[in-house]
Amino acid sequence: MGTPPPGDPEQGHFGLAVQDYTHSTAPNRRFADIVTQRLVKAVLAGQLAPYSDDELAAIALNCTLKEDAARKVEREMSKRIAAVAMSSRIGETFDAIVTGVTSRGTFIRVLRPAVEGLLSQGQQGADVGDKLRVKLIRTDIQRGYIDFARD
């Protein structure tokens, strides 16, 4: 739809039932936009803020929780897509770098193609920053897992 040319009547926002509407962020941030606009409108009109400090804190927390949940879904889908892309390459070897060593395992990033996975065999002695040659041994598309063994 885009922005109308200067002088054309504003279309407004059908879903929000407002005529004078603008936004500065992606659709997943529209609630935060509308809260901000309500605050700005109140200031410009010389009115009291439409939200108390406690209400704004609750709104901010809710927005953060929703954004975190969306980021988690996005990461899960990215992992599944990577597993799909790598599923036909089982048995191939790749250059990689160790990106994390935790109690859950040793994590690596393959350089080409850029995917992340678990070093599930040969992880002893591997440390963050180590460059390794690894072989793809397994993918689990449903879980988004990509497992490698040190070559």
Check: CB of residue 123 under 8 Å from CB of residue 97. Answer: no
pLDDT score for 3: 61
Q: Which residue, of 83, 103, 127, is where some domain finishes?
A: 83
What separation in angstroms does the CA of 57 have from each of 35, 64, 128? 12, 11, 38
Q: Answer yes or no: is 10 within a domain.
A: no
- For the stretch 53-82, pLDDT in tens is 999 999 999 989 988 998 999 999 999 999
Check: CB of residue 72 under 8 Å from CB of residue 79. Answer: no
Q: Within this chain, do residues 65 and 94 fall inside the same structural domain, yes or no?
A: no
pLDDT score for 143: 94
Q: Answer yes or no: is 140 within a domain.
A: yes
- For the stretch 90-144, pLDDT in tens is 999 999 999 999 998 999 999 999 999 999 999 899 999 999 999 999 999 999 9
Q: Within this chain, do residues 114 and 94 fall inside the same structural domain, yes or no?
A: yes
Q: Answer yes or no: is 62 within a domain.
A: yes
Q: Within this chain, do residues 61 and 97 fall inside the same structural domain, yes or no?
A: no
Domain that holds residue 146: 90-150
Upstream peptide bond of 6 is cis (omega within 30 degrees of 0): no
Q: Answer yes or no: is 118 within a domain.
A: yes
Quick check: 1 pLDDT over 70?
no
Q: Within this chain, do residues 63 and 96 fall inside the same structural domain, yes or no?
A: no
One-letter amino acid for residue 53 of the chain: D
